[in-house]
Structure formats: structure tokens, C-alpha cells
Amino acid sequence: MTAATTSASLAGTWLLGDMRVNRIGFGAMRLTGSAVFHRGTPSNRGQALAVLRRAVDLGVNHIDTAAFYFSQLRSANELINSALSPYPDDLVIATKVGPARDASGEWAAPARPDQLRGQVEENLRQLGRDHLDLVNLRVMRGQDSVAEHFGALAELREAGLVRHLGVSGVRLHQLVEAQAVAPVVCVQNRYGIDGRGDEELVEHCGAAGIAFVPFFSIAGGEHEAGAAGAENRRVLDVARAHGASPAQVRLAWTLQRGDHVLPIPGTGSQDHLVENLAAGALRLTEAELTALSAAQPA
């Protein structure tokens, strides 16, 4: 399915703190051409810039990025700056800080709390901003307490470098710990039909008025935009019934988990961008939602 008039507004809106955004956003990671998320990445810089500009033209006003989204050829922040600056007044750019490099250059450990200011300033320089709309603390595997790190970001919020704070890759107790330090406006975790370990967290966010921002929400298998393996059979059945793509069904299922759920599918293709936004008009029946929720990967 492709809506006659495609717009990011088809799925409605939600507040990120005091910033109203259309519920379908855009994740910039795949624009960098990284080796892991190579599928569908643009073959040239001009294509990446065109996708970003088309997204904003179609009403996308929530873009997710990070200074550590880069490859040998691309930097997501630089692409966003080049494509969209001067930025529209209603555009919310969310970024992440938290990972630190190991000796091999891999992002393998949490940064120290005192290193977070430098990461925030790096995002500010790359994006050409004097403040960041939203900064998510990316919690690394094996990290338990987040209070000291989130407290460091709260100080930057008080200093005016950051407008709102969120957390990413968290468990429920870590979200509660962060909330005790400073207001949390969003949680960004992996979530979709094939990965639903965070149901309690999704419900907690809904009850608290916190946006839940799932990444890999159209993942079929291991990576966004589908894996090389077979698609989930129930997803295919629902897609055929609606004349939609499996990715659109996955997005529609995610959107119908609650008005506070704001997926950020990424793509390097303008056609896929339009397809993703058109999914905002797809309404699944209760029977279809139940079947998809019970589905297992093929």
C-alpha cells in the first residue's frame, strides 16, 4: 500500500517533552554506509542528502542520530547538517551519548560520566547547533546503575546545552533510576514483532506519558529492513490481505501498541521512505494484531 498523499502525520502526533512530533520519525544510522547495516544504504552522498530532505518535506520532524553513526565515508551528523541546516523550527533532532571506544576503536564500554560533556559538544559541533533538542543516554551491555551518568547529563541540561533527556538500551529498573535523577521524555530500545522483551517497559512508558522509541521496528530477523532469511509467515499473510509490504505491516503493528510509540525506521531509499510513512494509514484488525503478537519467526 502507498497512500495517495503520503505524510509523516498519517499516524498522528506525540509530545517529546514539550516538542510535538509526528509519530513516524527517521533513523539516520543507515545513511552512513556501515558494514553491518549496508542493506539499502545510499551509493553516494547526494542520495543521502536527498533522502533527508524528502523526509522533512513529507513531514518527518523527529530524526534520530549520533556522533558515533559514521563510517569511513559518511557521518550521519554531517549529512544532517549539510542537508537540513538552517533547520526548520519544528524539527527535533535526537542524539545519543554513552559508548566509549576501546583500544581497537570499537564502541565497547561506557564512557565515564566526566566524558559525556565532550560527547555532547561533539554532537553540537557536527550538527551546527548551540543546544541539543534531546540526548539519550545509551546504556552499554553490562552497565547496571545509570544514576551517575544520567546525573552528568542532567547538569548539561541545567546548563542549557541540552533541552530534554532520554535513555536507550535500558531495563525497567534503570529507567526508574534515571527518573529519580531528572525528567525522562523517551526510552529508545529495540522492539518489534520479532523482539518483544520490553512489553512491561512499553506499558510503563505509556502510563507515565513517556515516549517509547523502538529501533529495528521493521526488523525481520536480525537487521532492519529484513534479513536474508524467510519472512514471518503471519506477517506475509497480513501483508497480502492489505496489499501492503511486510515492512508496512511491522510498522503498523508497532504503531498500534500505543499512541506513545514512535518508530524511527531508517532507509537510504526515497521509495522506501514513502512506503514507511504510508504505513501510518494502515489499520490492523484486533484479530490480526493478536495473530501477529503470537507469531514466531519463520
Contact 64, 28 (CB under 8 A): yes
Give the model confidence (pLDDT) of 83-94 as tens digits: 999 999 999 999
Which residue is it, cell 522492539?
191
For residue 169, tell me if it sits in a domain.
yes
Please name which of 149, 138, 201, 152 lies closest in space to residue 175, comparing C-alpha atoms: 201
**Using alpha carbons only, how large is the chain's radius of gyration in Å?**
18
Three-state SS sequence of 76-101:
HHHHHHHHHCCCCCCCEEEEEECEEE
Q: Specify if 245 maps to a domain.
A: no
Q: Which residues contact 173 (CB under 8 A, 6 or more apart)?
A: none
10 in any annotated domain? no
pLDDT reported for residue 30: 87
> Could you tell me the CATH number of the domain that includes residue 72?
3.20.20.100
Contacts of 176 (CB under 8 A, 6+ apart): none
Whether the pLDDT of residue 267 is over 90: the answer is: yes
Q: How does pLDDT run across 151-193, given as a tens digit for each residue?
A: 999 999 999 999 999 999 999 999 999 999 999 999 999 999 9
How many domains, the chain?
1
Spatial neighbors of 240 by CB under 8 A, at least 6 apart, are none
Task: Look at residues 125, 147, 135 and name the one whose alpha carbon lies nearest to residue 96.
Answer: 135
Q: Percent of the chain, pLDDT > 70? A: 88
pLDDT band per the 50, 70, 90 thresholds, residue 232 = confident
**Separation of first and last alpha carbons in the chain:** 23
Cell 514512535 sits on residue: 262
284 within a domain of the structure (yes/no): no
14, 68, 69, 191: the catalytic one is 69
With respect to residue 119, please indicate whether it lies within any of the assigned structural domains.
yes
Quick check: is 191 in a domain?
yes
Tell me what the mean pLDDT of segment 250-270 comes to.
96
pLDDT of residue 74: 87
How much is the pLDDT for 85? 98
Instruction: Using pLDDT thresholds of 50, 70 and 90, give the confidence band for residue 100.
Output: confident
Is 69 annotated as catalytic?
A: yes
What does the pLDDT look like over 101-149, one tens digit per residue? 765 656 668 999 999 999 999 999 999 999 999 999 999 988 999 999 9
In a domain, 231, yes or no: no
Domain limits for position 49: 18-226+255-266
Judge whether 266 and 25 are in contact, CB under 8 Å.
Answer: no
Give the pLDDT score at 42: 59
| Per-residue pLDDT at 226 | 42
CA angle, residues 79, 221, 75, in degrees to nearest 5? 10
pLDDT value for 83: 98
**What is the pLDDT of the chain when averaged over all its residues?**
90
User: Is the overall model pTM greater than 0.85, yes or no?
Assistant: yes
Answer yes or no: are the C-beta atoms of 116 and 164 closer than 8 Å: no
Mean local confidence (pLDDT), 74-89: 96
- Show the beta-strand stretches assigned E in 48-141: 62-64, 92-97, 99-101, 107-110, 132-138
pLDDT tier, 195 (very low <50, low <70, confident <90, very high otherwise): confident
> Does residue 227 carry a pLDDT above 60?
no
The pLDDT value given to residue 4: 59
Phi-psi region of 290 (alpha: psi -120 to 50; beta: other; left: phi over 0): alpha
pLDDT tens per residue across span 25-54: 999 998 987 544 444 455 689 999 999 999
The pLDDT score that the predictor gives to residue 275 is 97
Average pLDDT (3-12) is: 85
Looking at the domain assignment, is residue 286 inside a domain? no
- Of 237, 242, 245, 199, nearest in space to 218 by CA: 245
Q: Give, to the nearest 10 degrees, the angle between helix 147-158 and helix 172-179.
A: 40
